[in-house]
Structure 1
Amino acid sequence: MYLGFYMFSTIATIQISIIYAQTDTAACNSCCTAGVPGIPGNHGNPGVSGPQGMNGVKGEQGIKGEVGMKGEQGIKGDNGRNGLDGIPGKLGPQGLIGPSGVNGVKGEKGEQGPQGLIGSVKGEQASQQKSAFSVVFTTNPGRHAVSPMKYNTIITDVGNHYNKETGKFVCTIPGVYVFQVTSLKSSGGGIVSTQIIKNGNFQVTAYVGDTGHHSISTMVVLDLVSGDQVWTQPRDTNTNYYYSDGNRYCSFSGFLLYAA
């Protein structure tokens, strides 16, 4: 309010000064000649800033400009340096076995090899020492005594080392031998227990005690020296109920596995 009043007073003063100047000029013109113009006065001090005007109304959004042309492709940069090797990964699980491939074409027959040394194999076989036998009962031994069983029929006796008269095998070739015995029990309620004996000492025993016919068998490997004797016999008088016939149910066999 104060500012408005001040501006009004200033404007009125200026207008009054103009009127007086015009009156003086008219009077002077009627009687005087014009004088030399005076020196321009100094500029007055700047006026006080006016109040800030109100914000104008926001204008409408302008039209979207056209898309500019695509710029030219830049120059390709230099290749970067290779990175460091990564840490090896863990080993994966083993894969499944694939299907079998098709068999290849059979190759041509190779050339015959050189002939072996004469007598290198045949000579060894010819010099190998042999001993083997198999004997059986073709008749019924019944209640056999506790003594060497004298089998009445010889099937095999390579080397003639089985003595039919004593029922004993006599070693003449030192080495390792295999012996086997098979016995059949009679159909009654008796028992059969057969032993393989070496020089008077039993080595193994086979036993059966059921009713009816039953067959038993046992085997042993013995290391013999020249002069050793091997045979079979019942264990005692309560276990000697044997039976055999033409079917040869009771047998005794032995052979040389290898010479010492």
Structure 2
Amino acid sequence: MLTIVIQISIIYVIKSAAQTNSEACNSCCTAGVPGIPGNHGNPGAIGPQGMNGIQGMKGEQGINGEQGINGEQGIKGEQGLNGEQGMKGDNGSNGLDGTPGKLGPTGPQGLIGLPGANGVKGEKGEQASQQKSAFTAVYTSDPGRPIGPLKYDTIITDVGNHYNKETGKFVCAIPGVYVFQVTSTKSQGGRQIVTRIMKNRNIQMSTRMSADGLNSISTMVVLNLVSGDEVWIQPVSSIDNYYCSSGARYCSFSGFFLYPA
């Protein structure tokens, strides 16, 4: 910008000199042919920087305009009529069952609940009929020296009538487990008694008494019987049968049903 200003100033000086020369020349001579314009001169040196201009005064703040008046609120419109209810759509088809999820972990055990109320008392049930079999037979007089099954002359008890007084044998009618017991007394002057409990001609138990005087001996056995099995008492031989009994009933044979097999 400064270069342009300098160039304009130089042109102005040259023009003023030419005009002066022209005026002087015109007074005495005829104007010559304009010469060929010379070459541009070299740019002049940069002039000194001008002084800063004086800052103008700040103008006063303008006055705010007045606020416009708010318009009145419009009247609320009437509510429109409800539209008619549409027709109910058809039920959609059921979706397919999803894949069962994995079993979750077992949760912690809950607290024990309070006891429930007592239930209503049930009706009394019918008592099951229990099969029964029991007997006791004794000698009430001296039996002498019997051979074979001892036939006790007096029956004290015979529940079920399974002991046969005529044969001296107990005949099983209820299959199961039975208990049998025998007590025998040796006569005072006799040698000895050896008594056996028999089941179907097989020896189950034996007792022996050979002490001097009037002495007794007992034994007991538990047998598993089926229907028709026979149990009885007999001496081992004719020289081991010195039995003794009386109204005191020293010799006896007993048995009873324990439970079904």
The bucket for the TM-score relative to the shorter chain is 0.5 to 0.7
The 3-state SS of whatever aligns with 2:217 is: strand
Note if 1:239 corresponds to 2:219: no
Name 1:253's counterpart in structure 2: 254
Name 1:93's counterpart in structure 2: none
Using a 3 Å threshold, how does the CA distance of structure 1 residues 192 and 173 change in structure 2: closer, same or farther?
same
Q: Distance in 1 between matches of 2:244 and 2:144?
A: 6
Note if 1:118 corresponds to 2:124: yes
* Cα deviation 1:175-215 (Å, max 9, x = unaligned): 00000000000001410111100000110001110110100
Q: TM-score, normalised by structure 1?
A: 0.53
The 3-state SS of whatever aligns with 1:123 is: coil
Name 2:144's counterpart in structure 1: 142
Q: Distance in 1 between matches of 2:139 and 2:120?
A: 52
Amino acid at match of 1:123: Q
Q: Distance in 1 between matches of 2:216 and 2:175?
A: 32
Q: Distance in 1 between matches of 2:134 and 2:158?
A: 6
Q: Distance in 2 between matches of 1:170 and 1:195?
A: 17
Higher helix share: 1
1:87-102 matched pairs, under 5 angstroms: none
1:47-196 matched pairs, under 5 angstroms: 115=121, 117-119=123-125, 123-124=127-128, 127-145=129-147, 147-196=148-197
How far the C-alpha of 1:113 sits from its partner, in A, is 9.0
Taking only aligned residues, the RMSD between alpha carbons, in angstroms, comes to 1.7
Q: Distance in 2 between matches of 1:251 and 1:198?
A: 17
Note if 1:204 corresponds to 2:180: no
Misfit runs of 4+, over 2 Å: 112-117
Q: TM-score, normalised by structure 2?
A: 0.53
Q: Distance in 2 between matches of 1:130 and 1:149?
A: 24
- The 8 Å contact of residues 189 and 210 in structure 1, kept in 2 or not, is answered as no
* Cα deviation 1:67-117 (Å, max 9, x = unaligned): xxxxxxxxxxxxxxxxxxxxxxxxxxxxxxxxxxxxxxxxxxxxx996454
The percent of aligned pairs where both chains have the same amino acid is 64
How far the C-alpha of 1:132 sits from its partner, in A, is 0.3
Unaligned runs of 5+ in 1: 1-111
